[in-house]
Amino acid sequence: MQRYYFDHNATTPVSPEVLEAMLPVMTEVFGNPSSIHHYGQAARAKLDAARRQVAAMLHCSDNEIVFTSGGTESDNLAILGIGGHVITTSIEHPAVLASADQLSVTQVPVDRSGIVDPDAIRNAIRPDTKLITVMHVNNELGTIQPVEEIGRIARDAGFAFHSDGVQAAGKVPIDVRAIHADIYAISGHKIYAPKGTGALFIRKGLNLRPQMYGGSHESRHRAGTQNVAGAVALGAAAQWINQHAAAEWPDLAALRDRLERSILSRVADTHVNAAGSLRAPNVTNIRFDGIDSEALLIALDLRGFAVSAGSACSSGAQEPSPVLIAIGLTREQAKSSIRFSLGRSNDAAQVDALIDAVAESVAHLRKLAPAYA
């Protein structure tokens, strides 16, 4: 049976370009980048080059990039490193919400389109507010938040703005200066690099309290010998994005729109969650009335299609998606929604095959559900 992957927001395969850049580092450039001998300096050169590539993608200076183990560590370092009262939204990734919960936090709601009102952010400011953290692109809905305006609010108020850009990297333009970000997180495995590598932009002059203690690595922000191979992989992924991603976005959007239109026309009682919002080009979240999302996910998997019922970090949870509840869906509606996230390997033929599989699977499941009829 042929299999097709439509779960790129959960993780992406390592691309050939990234693997080609990474493999020699794993086998030949094995030195510690803090060592002053030849082997160490060879590793340092690779690390510095990767830092420049990531900085180019984010439009910042290379000395503002700190390599981490991924998005979760980056978000933790950003939020706990600032401390104080935090303002965030109700649809953030668990890495942000769980970090903020360790501090004093205000969660601002979003509207039915999954967008936060900047005025609501402004109204949540307290005398002890130190940080606003709002994701750039939502991982389940693909909604793009008004980060530039929110960043301006933080700048004018005199405190820091952090954005989780894990789902934005490679899918929308990123310029940390333009959105007034002080801290910005990305993760390698969402952009065709391996798991276990990520980065955090930290604006020059901003002081963050480290969350790992030891040596003076990464400008004293993150102790521990650097994962040079992982950093090189992340740099190669960023370079591909710098050179090619913008040309890819219209094609992804066309495939996403093709998927949505066909499912809505062929399958009765279906709805695109947050359809009216500005979204990243590769993701759609569709609700199927009368269908349990887990049953549909399994049915599609048996037909060779990998999709998701929500955030991969919450998979296995019996509760409905907090993101879908936050935009006003009932528990039943939230538990009847499926996320489809496209990537470089998908084409029109695969999308059409997926549409057929969805239509057939939903028809079969609805026959088994008397309550739907």
User: Looking at the DSSP assignment, which residues form a beta bridge with residue 68?
Assistant: 198
Tokens of 337: 């929604």
Could you give the CA distance from residue 128 to residue 113 in angstroms, rounded to a whole number? 30
List of residues 6+ apart from 304 with CB closer than 8 A: 1, 2, 3, 4, 357
List of residues 6+ apart from 24 with CB closer than 8 A: none
Options 124, 125, 313, 359, the catalytic residue:
313
Collapsed DSSP state (helix, strand, coil) of residue 10:
coil
Inter-residue contact 270 to 333 (CB < 8 Å): no
Within 223-325, strands assigned E span 270-272, 283-288, 305-306
Look up 313 and say whether it is catalytic: yes
Q: Are strands 129-133 and 85-89 parallel, antiparallel or unpaired?
A: parallel
Amino acid present at 108: V
Q: Closest by alpha carbon to 68, among 218, 170, 178?
A: 218
Q: Catalytic positions, please?
A: 313
